[in-house]
Every structure is written in structure tokens, then in C-alpha cells.
Amino acid sequence: MTLIGHLIGGERRNDATRTQEVFNPATGRAEKQVALAAKSTVEEAIAAAQAAFPAWRDTPPIKRTRIMFRFKELLEQNAERICQLIGEEHGKIVHDAAGELQRGIENVEYACGAPQLLKGEHSRSVGPGIDSWSEFQPLGVVAGITPFNFPVMVPLWMFPMAIVCGNCFVLKPSERDPGATLFIAELLHEAGLPPGVLNLVNGDKEAVDTLLHDPRVQAVSFVGSTPIAEYIYATAAANGKRCQALGGAKNHAILMPDADLDNAVNSLLGAAFGSSGERCMALSVVVAVGDAVADALVARLREAMRGLKLGIHHERGNDFGPLITRQHKDRVVGHIDSAERQGAQVVVDGRGVRTPGCEEGFFVGATLLDRVSPEMDSYRAEIFGPVLQVIRVSSLEEAMALIDAHEYGNGTCIYTRDGEAARYFSDRIQVGMVGINVPLPVPVAYHSFGGWKRSLFGDLHAYGPDGVRFYTRRKTITQRWPSASLRESAEFSMPTLK
Ligand code: NAD
């Protein structure tokens, strides 16, 4: 059985004192194993990054960037293999994996602008003969801890930017689907990255805790569930580290009575059930304003959901695949059960779905729940499965109050033809990423990604301009070259411009 190990100092390492099975979620079989790094292995990775830092920090940004340009080409040339690895371990259908990869590549493209992004700020003559500038210096060794649901894209949010900014990186991917992440880390070495600049350790809490407590690690980027994000943020901060920790979500769409219903139904299908709902930006709740639009929506969705196809990753005709593990499948089914018990109407039931050829896979079919109410456990939790819940309200204000009251604030969307309502909504809603007739408003690589409330702990969002700020620290230099005409006598009051 293949053992997925680590990559330290540019070399493959298999420290396999502890291992965990990696499943193909479509077949339900454990087909690989992943090594779970011991504390000492993680410390070796940190030491390799620390050793590589002085030379990498002094490498001109344009040279660092040339490696990223080659990396982008290699990602494109190896797209098929990457999507296959994602499919085998995550279950994502090949067209969806290709979308994930493309979104990741766009972050590499943005990182290729490092010489421009790192130019800094300059002011001439802030005083007589005095110039001042700010430059953005790397932090040193930084770490990234990533979730299972985007094994390629989320790591690509982090390490390309950190590295072009002059840092050295230790990445700890999800232990549930680590194969594609290790593969792309190797491609970056093939592109010419010096050993030690990017290290990858596979593992679990032991590896994460080592990264959080080691004083050589200056900053931690995390993406995953909210309870772990909160723990990572608190522990990193207590250990004096900079941290951005992105957490879970419950993304609502508001459906206004004037919305283009055909467009809303089509886009909701993809946004709710694509990737089996295992996206932090998945739309999992529709708040319908008025019973008339709610009834029309439920009727159309019921019809449209009949045609959805689920199955194995390599069949392009499939719309979505299985859930990541058997335990997660049981959790999702448990949420549907509880919603039904608490009074929701199960309009389309994905429990017990049949997937010929993949009977043992972790599949749940697309599920539609109507007449959900805010007290229900299924409404409060992030289900992270192919389950769409409909809540009925009577006004836009009521819909917005519902969204604002939820603990998460990652993404949201309004379907309407009314520009005034859309502007009112985007202006006031307490959510970090807003779509107007756009169901998955995932910011492009040259903006930044992040939610509000308990969807993000920290100040800076991921990637884009905030990524540059996160992976650098500002140094401001004020300079004067004394000359005879500018020589000053001793001054004991706070210097000001006279
Ligand atoms: P997770 O929190 O279980 O795991 C994320 C990472 O944390 C993994 O690398 C894992 O090994 C590590 N980890 C897990 N338990 C830990 C512990 N007790 N101590 C230390 N480290 C631990 O998340 P997941 O199930 O892999 O991913 C799904 C979650 O990620 C969902 O909640 C989803 O919304 C969220 N997510 C958020 C975003 C975002 O941008 N906000 C993006 C993708 C996924």
C-alpha cells in the first residue's frame, strides 16, 4: 500500500512510526496510508526552513518569482495527474478538481507579481533633507495548516505568496487527502526551489501543536473548522505568533420575490450540491422572502434535483461525488434526521441513495429541506454536505436579521432585480464576502478571501493584498545625510516640522 510521507529539505522522508489510512471515498476502501509526523520530524522540518532562510531572504524577488513562473507551467502540465489524486482521495469529480486547481494557479500568478507587490512606499522630503520609506521584509519561518476540502487550492493560497515574499514554509496538509498536496510541493522543487524553502509534514494534532509552540515559527496560516481555528488562533497568539485562522460557515442566499427564478434555481443547484456541499462557500440555506416565491422555488428545485448525478470522480458526467469519510456521512445523515424530527419537511431525501458500482462509498444524495426554522440544530450547525435548507420569511429586513444573528459570516448572496435592495443588503450585512446574483462570491486572487464573525480569527484575510501584508512585516526607515546647511543643534522637544 502506498505510504504518503513528508518532504523535508527537498527530500522525501517516511517517518512511519504512526500512520493513518487514506480512503478512496467513492469505493469506501483504504487504498493508501499517510505517515503522521512525530514532534521530532516536525522540528527537523522547521530546522530545514530556518537554515534555508538567510539565503532565500537575500535572493532578489525577481529570482524567487522566476521559480513561481516555472511552477505555474508545471501545475498546468500536470493538471490531469493532480485532478486524479484529488479525485482518488477526496472524491471530487474531475471537472470540479480542475476548477480547484485553476483557482489555485491564479494565486501562483498573483505571487508572480512579487517584485511589484514588495516595492514598498516612499516619501521624499518628509522634513528638510529627510526621506522616509517603508519596506516589507519577510518574517522567517512560517507555517500553514490546511483542510481536506481543497487539498490543492488552499495550500496554494498560502505558500506561493509566503515564499515569494522571502519566507521559508512548513506546510501541514489534511491527513485525509494529502497525496495531491505532496505532489504539488514536489513540483515546486522541480521548478527550481532550493531545498528547505518549502517543507511538508503530514500529521495530526501532534504535528500542529509542534508548529504552534516552536519559537522558530513566526506566523501561522490556518484554514479549517471553527473550533480548531479558534484553538489555533488562541494558541498561536499565546506563543507570540502572527496568526490568521479561517473557520467554518453557514452561507445564506436571500431569494427576493422579483428574482430571476430560472437563474436562481440553476445557480443554487451548483452552489449547494457542487463538491457534495463540502465547500466553505457552499450555499446551504435559502431565505425566501414570501411564501409565493418559496413555493415556486421548492417546486422547481424538486424537479431539477431529479437530474443530478453522483458517482465516481473520473466520470465527467457526474455532478458531485461522495463525502470525505464514513463518519462524516453519518454526521450529515444525522443532521437530516434531526431536521425531520424537529419539524422540517424533507422534500427531496438523499439518505439511502443508490450508487451502482460504488455501493460502499460514502455517498449522500442531494437533499432539500423546507420549512426549516432558526431553532433547529441542522440550521445552527455547518452540515458540510449536499443539504439545502429553505427558511421562509416575510421581508428583506427579516432575512438580513437572520443572517446577522448566525455565528458564521463567511459568504452570502442575494437574488434580486432590484438594485436598491441589493445595495442596501451589501452595505449592511455582517458577512465578509457578498454576491449579488452570484452564488459563490469567492474573491479572485488579486482581492483577498475571508469571512467575518466566527468564520475568521485574525485581522488579515487570506491571499491577495492581505496575503502580502500577512507574510511580511513593515519596516519604516527615516534617513538624513547631514550637510553643513542642515546641521541642527540639540533638540529636547518632540521633533516636528518647522
Ligand atoms: P478541520 O478543522 O478538521 O482540519 C483542518 C486542519 O486542522 C487539518 O490539517 C487537521 O489535521 C488539523 N486539525 C484537526 N483537528 C485538530 C486538532 N484537534 N488540533 C490541531 N489540529 C487539528 O477541518 P476539515 O474537516 O479538514 O475541513 C473542513 C472545514 O474547513 C469546514 O468547517 C470548512 O468550512 C472549513 N473551511 C473553511 C475555509 C475558509 O476559507 N473559511 C475554507 C475551506 C474549508
- Structure confidence at residue 389 (pLDDT): 98
Contact 46, 216 (CB under 8 A): yes
Confidence of residue 482 (pLDDT cuts 50, 70, 90): confident
Handedness of CA 19, 25, 26, 29 (dihedral sign): positive
User: 325 CB less than 6 Å from ligand 1?
Assistant: no
pTM above 0.95, yes or no: yes
Clarify whether residues 227 and 357 are in a common domain. no
CA distance 51 to 196: 7
Q: Of 148, 232, 335, 406, which is best to mutate to test ligand 1, by the most ligand atoms within 8 angstroms of its C-beta? A: 148
In a domain? residue 446? no
| Atom nearest to 175 CA in ligand 1 | 11
- Structure confidence at residue 14 (pLDDT): 85
Clarify whether residues 234 and 200 are in a common domain. yes
Residue type at 406 in one-letter notation: H
Span from the CA of 289 to the centroid of ligand 1 (angstroms) = 33
Clarify whether residues 340 and 223 are in a common domain. no
Clarify whether residues 223 and 355 are in a common domain. no
Q: Is 496 exposed, middle or buried (0-12, 13-18, 19+ CB in 10 A)?
A: exposed
In a domain? residue 178? yes
In a domain? residue 206? yes
In a domain? residue 493? no
Clarify whether residues 266 and 206 are in a common domain. no
Span from the CA of 218 to the centroid of ligand 1 (angstroms) = 21
Span from the CA of 245 to the centroid of ligand 1 (angstroms) = 10
In a domain? residue 442? no
User: 104 CB less than 6 Å from ligand 1?
Assistant: no
Clarify whether residues 191 and 86 are in a common domain. yes
Mean pLDDT across 7-20: 91
Mean pLDDT across 324-335: 98
Task: Look at residue 71 and tell me whether its pLDDT is greater than 80.
Answer: yes
Task: Look at residue 47 and tell me whether its pLDDT is greater than 90.
Answer: yes
- Name which residue leads in pLDDT, 17 or 401: 401
For the stretch 147-178, pLDDT in tens is: 999 999 999 999 999 999 999 999 999 999 99
Residue 436's H or E segment, with its range, is strand 433-436
- Structure confidence at residue 497 (pLDDT): 78
Residue 469's H or E segment, with its range, is helix 464-470
Q: Of 158, 280, 327, 331, which is best to mutate to test ligand 1, by the most ligand atoms within 8 angstroms of its C-beta? A: 280
Span from the CA of 149 to the centroid of ligand 1 (angstroms) = 9
| Atom nearest to 248 CA in ligand 1 | 34
Catalytic residues: 280
Clarify whether residues 170 and 262 are in a common domain. no
- Structure confidence at residue 491 (pLDDT): 83
- Structure confidence at residue 493 (pLDDT): 87
- Strand 168-172 relative to strand 141-145, pairing: parallel
- Structure confidence at residue 39 (pLDDT): 96
For the stretch 119-154, pLDDT in tens is: 999 999 999 889 999 999 999 999 999 999 999 999
ipTM of the complex: 0.98
Residue 177 zone, left/alpha/beta (φ > 0; ψ -120 to 50; rest): beta
- Structure confidence at residue 164 (pLDDT): 98
Q: Which domain holds residue 205?
A: 2-247+455-477
358 contacts: CB under 8 Å, gap ≥ 6: 26, 27, 28, 311, 312, 322
In a 13 Å sphere around the CA of 132, the CA atoms on its Cβ side amount to 8
Clarify whether residues 104 and 187 are in a common domain. yes
User: Torsion over CA of 470, 116, 451 and 175, rounded to 10 degrees?
Assistant: -60
Task: Look at residue 404 and tell me whether its pLDDT is greater than 80.
Answer: yes
- Structure confidence at residue 459 (pLDDT): 96
User: 101 CB less than 6 Å from ligand 1?
Assistant: no
Clarify whether residues 414 and 281 are in a common domain. yes
> What is the CATH classification number for the domain harbouring 166?
3.40.605.10
Task: Look at residue 16 and tell me whether its pLDDT is greater than 80.
Answer: no
Span from the CA of 104 to the centroid of ligand 1 (angstroms) = 18
Distances (CA, A) of 415 to 174, 267, 286: 35, 10, 10
Clarify whether residues 357 and 462 are in a common domain. no
Clarify whether residues 170 and 304 are in a common domain. no
> What is the CATH classification number for the domain harbouring 356?
3.40.309.10
| Atom nearest to 226 CA in ligand 1 | 32
User: 7 CB less than 6 Å from ligand 1?
Assistant: no
In a domain? residue 429? yes
For the stretch 267-279, pLDDT in tens is: 999 999 999 999 9
Clarify whether residues 114 and 153 are in a common domain. yes
- Structure confidence at residue 241 (pLDDT): 98
Task: Look at residue 218 and tell me whether its pLDDT is greater than 80.
Answer: yes
In a domain? residue 495? no
Task: Tell me how many domains the chain contains.
Answer: 2
User: 149 CB less than 6 Å from ligand 1?
Assistant: yes
In a domain? residue 445? no
User: Torsion over CA of 369, 371, 372 and 376, rounded to 10 degrees?
Assistant: -120
